[in-house]
Chain A
Amino acid sequence: MSPRSNRTEVCIPSPTWASASGMSDDPRFGLSRHVTLPGPLRLDGGGLLSPVDIAYETYGALNAEGSNAILICHALTGDQFVASEHPRTGKPGWWTRMVGVGKPIDPARHFIVCANVLGSCMGSSGPATVNPATGRPWAMSFPVITIRDMVRAQAMLLDRLGVGRLTVVGGSMGGMQALSWPATFPDRVKAAVVIASTARHTAQNIAFHEVGRQAIMGDPHWQTGDYYGGDAPSAGLAVARMAAHITYLSEAGLTEKFGRRLQARDAKSFGFDADFQVESYLRHQGLAFTDRFDANSYLYITRAMDYFDLAEEHNGHLANAFRQTKARFCLVSFDTDWLYPTAESRAIVHALNAAGAPVSFVEFKSPHGHDSFLLDAPEMNRVVDGFLRAEQ
Chain B
Amino acid sequence: METLRPDLAIIAANVAPRSRVLDVGCGDGALMAALRDSRGVDARGLELDAGNVASAIARGLSAVQGDADVDLADYPDHSFDYAILSQTLQTTRAPDVVLEHLLRIGRHAFVSFPNFAHWSVRWSLLWGGRMPVTRLLPVEWYATPNIHHVTIDDFRAFLKTRDITLEQAWFLSGDTRRSSAAANFLAEHAVFLLRR
Contact = CB atoms under 8 A, between A and B. Distances in A.
A360 B57 contact: yes
A356 B54 contact: no
A359 B62 contact: yes
Contacts, number: 67
A284 interface: no
B74 interface: yes
Interface in A334-392: 346, 349-350, 353-354, 356, 358-365, 379, 382-383, 385-387, 389-390
- What is the size category of the interface that chain A forms with chain B? 20 to 34
A328 interface: yes
B148 interface: no
A353 B61 contact: no
Contact of B60 (A353, A356, A387): A387
A361 B50 contact: no
A362 B74 contact: no
Given A354-B74, A362-B50, A364-B50, A383 B58 contact: yes
Contact of B75 (A353, A382, A383): A353
A385 B65 contact: no
Contacts of A382: 54, 58
A56 B70 CA distance: 43
Q: Which DSSP category, helix, strand, loop or mixed, fits chain B's interface?
A: mixed
A144 interface: no
Interface in B30-75: 42, 44, 50-51, 53-54, 56-66, 71, 74-75
B60 A386 contact: yes
Nearest to A389: B60
A161 to B, nearest CB: 27
B79 interface: yes
Given A353-B74, A353-B75, A362 B57 contact: yes
Contacts of B56: 360
A295 to B, nearest CB: 39
B74 A358 contact: no
B63 to A, nearest CB: 5
Contacts of A360: 53, 56-57, 61-64
A330 B65 CA distance: 11
Contacts of A387: 57-58, 60
A361 B54 CA distance: 9
Contacts of B63: 360-362
Nearest to B44: A358
- Nearest 3 interchain pairs by C-beta: A390-B60, A386-B58, A362-B53
Given A353-B75, A360-B61, 8 more contacts: A346-B66, A346-B71, A349-B66, A359-B44, A359-B64, A362-B54, A362-B64, A386-B58
9 contacts: A353-B76, A353-B79, A362-B64, A363-B65, A383-B54, A386-B58, A386-B60, A387-B60, A390-B59
